[in-house]
Amino acid sequence: MTGSRQKRVVILGGGFGGVYTAKHLEKALGRRDEFEIVLVNKENYFVFQPMLPEVISGSIGMLDTVSPIRRLLPRTNLHVRDVESIDINSKTITTSPGFRPHAHIIEYDYLVLAMGNVTDFRGLRGLPEHAMPFKNLADAVQLRNHVIRALEEAAIEDDDPELRSQLLTFVVAGGGFSGVEVAAELNDFVREVARNYRSINPTELRVVLVHSQNRILPELSEKLALFAQKILMKRGVEVRLNTKLEAATGEEAILAGGEKIGTRTLVSTVPSSPHPIIDGLDLPKGKNGRLITNSFLEVEGAENIWALGDCAQVPQRDGGFCPPTAQHALRQGRTAAGNIVASIRGGKRSEFTFGGLGQMGALGHHSAVAQIMGVNISGFIAWWIWRTIYLLKLPGWGRRLKVASSWTLDLLLPAELVELKLTGSMGITQEHFEPGEEVFHQGDLGDRIYIIVNGEAEVVREDGDFEIILAKLGSGEYFGEMALLKQSTRGATVRCTAPMDTLSLPKREFSMLAAYLPQMRETLESVMEQRTRANAQKSARG
């Protein structure tokens, strides 16, 4: 390594684990400079995840759940980059390129792994395309905007009762803390703001919580979990137990066993998977792919590497392992920092012995459930304690003051209903279709051109009571160009016949490409003419 340079502690991940490790390292450093702290995080802010569900209803401001890491950690060198790879042999970290496409390599002497976990939809049919995760601020803002968009659309959808019902049905998969809090907040929000839509009847609204086990909130005692379930159901949430989400399309959540719930809003907080970069490391892993550490938070079999938070399997005194919660991650940060300093300066290392203070979860409408030091609390008192504890845990008095005033005003004022349109266009979209599902219907407006990535579809012309199959399409073929080129409505229906993944380009982008790439336009026009002729012959044969 670079011999004379200062020792460097590199922390990967700026969540509860990483930020609190850096905070305690800064404290231990005091006025000295015997080591340097580097923290790499995707964003330049720390997210207070337990409050994210409140962003859906706007009961706290979007920026009040986050804090700039530079302000929290003034003596830490922050790299706002994605970690791309970790090389344990050469003790280097490679981060993603910035404005210039060259690799950025950081050497380390001491490494802290605190990258959390991910919600991984890979391998689940249609979920990568149609389910929304709920982990960070962007997810929360996107969900809020999407829900408001769905309500706006439903308010003016008179022709198609099926579409209207899909727009007014909201499905959340995962009955752990995050899924339950999201369902509760979503339910409160849609039911409150629906009053502003004269054409929406509150009885049309459905919020469904799908959970694979026999009770929600497995983190809590059965009594408290049942209480929470009762409250949710009283508020109108449909709780579906022993039910697994298996697949999705843009119009349906498909449950194991084949039942389909028509919806245009599917949020999934499951399955929670190991971080892919941690997964790729040649280090010992335990349950759910978490890095195995000893009680000093040192990764088993590795030198000068600590792991904590959701990506680590940390032993507890009672023989189990620490649950993936914020309260554990931030306290593990303190222990890890102390042990890193002990490694640098020499000294006694300390074990992580925290057993947890309890669990709390909000259920909307000024109620919550909590299990604090073994005591079960529910209802308004639990909600008040929940708010006070989280308020005091927020970093900085400025932020606490802002959140406290937002919460106070929220008690008096109606929920905010503004949809923030942050992107001018949706760009290329990936979609998944199941057999029998229509991509578009004859007579619809032409809004996109589609390319089949895999799967099959048929092009069908409806003629009175009859249907004529005009073509069968498969992988690599495209459709939907005619209505765009002719500026007309769809001349036929395209229906999926075998599970199909598509890429589609919106009309605006398609028109720009066609205008500036004349050869592309000519090719498409000649294919369109061939297809039109073939279709006319088939229709004539009838």
Ligand X SMILES: Cc1cc2nc3c(=O)[nH]c(=O)nc-3n(C[C@H](O)[C@H](O)[C@H](O)COP(=O)(O)OP(=O)(O)OC[C@H]3O[C@@H](n4cnc5c(N)ncnc54)[C@H](O)[C@@H]3O)c2cc1C
Taking the complex as a whole, how short is the minimal distance between the CB of residue 216 and ligand X, in angstroms? 14
Phi, psi of 538 (to 5 degrees): -65, -40
Taking the complex as a whole, how short is the minimal distance between the CB of residue 447 and ligand X, in angstroms? 33
Beta carbons of 481 and 449 less than 8 angstroms apart: yes
The Cβ of residue 425 has, within 10 Å, a number of other Cβ atoms equal to 10
What is the bridge-based pairing of β-strands 493-506 and 448-463?
A: antiparallel
Beta carbons of 502 and 430 less than 8 angstroms apart: yes
Q: Which is nearer to ligand X, 268 or 504 (CB)?
A: 268
The residues, any chain, with a CB within 8 Å of residue 162's CB and separated by 6 or more, are: 262
DSSP label at 327? H
CA neighbor of 76 nearest in space, from 5, 15, 10: 10
Candidate residues 134, 189, 306, 352; the one interacting with ligand X per rule CB under 6 A = 134
Q: How many Å apart are CA 420 and CA 439, to the nearest integer?
A: 27
Taking the complex as a whole, how short is the minimal distance between the CB of residue 398 and ligand X, in angstroms? 21
In the shown chain, the binding pattern of residues 478 to 517 toward ligand X, with x for contact by CB under 6 A and - for none, equals ----------------------------------------
In the shown chain, the binding pattern of residues 138 to 177 toward ligand X, with x for contact by CB under 6 A and - for none, equals ---------------------------------------x
**Site membership for ligand X, residue 321 (CB under 6 A):** no
**Strand (E) or helix (H) holding 154:** helix 137-156
**Site membership for ligand X, residue 17 (CB under 6 A):** yes
Candidate residues 26, 43, 456, 477; the one interacting with ligand X per rule CB under 6 A = 43
Q: Which is nearer to ligand X, 17 or 364 (CB)?
A: 17
Assess whether the previous peptide bond of 271 is cis (omega < 30° from 0).
Answer: yes
- Of residues 74-113, those binding ligand X (CB under 6 A): 82-83
The beta strand positions in 191-311, using DSSP E, are: 206-210, 237-240, 245-248, 252-255, 260-262, 265-268, 272-274, 291-292, 305-307
**Site membership for ligand X, residue 378 (CB under 6 A):** no
Taking the complex as a whole, how short is the minimal distance between the CB of residue 417 and ligand X, in angstroms? 22
Q: Which is nearer to ligand X, 361 or 446 (CB)?
A: 361
**Site membership for ligand X, residue 364 (CB under 6 A):** no
Taking the complex as a whole, how short is the minimal distance between the CB of residue 279 and ligand X, in angstroms? 12
Q: Which is nearer to ligand X, 167 or 336 (CB)?
A: 336
The residues, any chain, with a CB within 8 Å of residue 264's CB and separated by 6 or more, are: 150, 166, 167, 169, 250, 251
Q: Which is nearer to ligand X, 66 or 452 (CB)?
A: 66
Q: How many Å apart are CA 479 and CA 456, to the nearest integer?
A: 12
The token pair at 112 is 């802290």
Three-class secondary structure of residue 308 per DSSP: coil
Residue where the block lists tokens 């294919």: 527
Candidate residues 126, 324, 364, 395; the one interacting with ligand X per rule CB under 6 A = 324
Q: Which is nearer to ligand X, 372 or 468 (CB)?
A: 372
Candidate residues 59, 265, 327, 504; the one interacting with ligand X per rule CB under 6 A = 327
Candidate residues 23, 37, 50, 67; the one interacting with ligand X per rule CB under 6 A = 50
Taking the complex as a whole, how short is the minimal distance between the CB of residue 12 and ligand X, in angstroms? 6
> Which of the stretches 60-68, 114-122, 282-290, 394-402 binds ligand X when contact is defined by CB under 6 A?
114-122
Q: Which is nearer to ligand X, 43 or 458 (CB)?
A: 43
**Site membership for ligand X, residue 291 (CB under 6 A):** no
CA neighbor of 8 nearest in space, from 114, 106, 115: 106
Phi, psi of 37 (to 5 degrees): -110, 125
Candidate residues 11, 38, 52, 283; the one interacting with ligand X per rule CB under 6 A = 52
Q: Which is nearer to ligand X, 134 or 450 (CB)?
A: 134
Beta carbons of 206 and 168 less than 8 angstroms apart: yes
3-state secondary structure 453-486: EEEEEEEEEEECCEEEEEEEECCCCEECHHHHHC
**Site membership for ligand X, residue 525 (CB under 6 A):** no
Beta carbons of 508 and 432 less than 8 angstroms apart: no
Taking the complex as a whole, how short is the minimal distance between the CB of residue 325 and ligand X, in angstroms? 3
The token pair at 150 is 């769905």
Taking the complex as a whole, how short is the minimal distance between the CB of residue 283 and ligand X, in angstroms? 16
Give CA separation, 111 vs 34, 108, 381, in Å.
16, 6, 42
SS3 breakdown of the chain: % helix, strand, coil, rounded to 5? 35, 30, 35
Q: Which is nearer to ligand X, 359 or 504 (CB)?
A: 359
> Which of the stretches 42-50, 101-109, 254-262, 447-455 binds ligand X when contact is defined by CB under 6 A?
42-50
CA neighbor of 499 nearest in space, from 427, 428, 426, 439: 439
**Site membership for ligand X, residue 14 (CB under 6 A):** yes
**Site membership for ligand X, residue 238 (CB under 6 A):** no
**Site membership for ligand X, residue 15 (CB under 6 A):** yes
**Site membership for ligand X, residue 338 (CB under 6 A):** no
Residues touching ligand X, count (CB under 6 A): 36
The token pair at 318 is 């009672």
> Which of the stretches 8-16, 163-171, 222-230, 416-424 binds ligand X when contact is defined by CB under 6 A?
8-16
> Which of the stretches 49-57, 100-108, 198-206, 337-345 binds ligand X when contact is defined by CB under 6 A?
49-57
Taking the complex as a whole, how short is the minimal distance between the CB of residue 442 and ligand X, in angstroms? 42
List residues near ligand X by CB under 6 A. Answer: 13-18, 40-43, 49-50, 52-53, 82-83, 114-116, 134-135, 177-178, 181, 275, 277, 309-311, 324-327, 329, 360-361
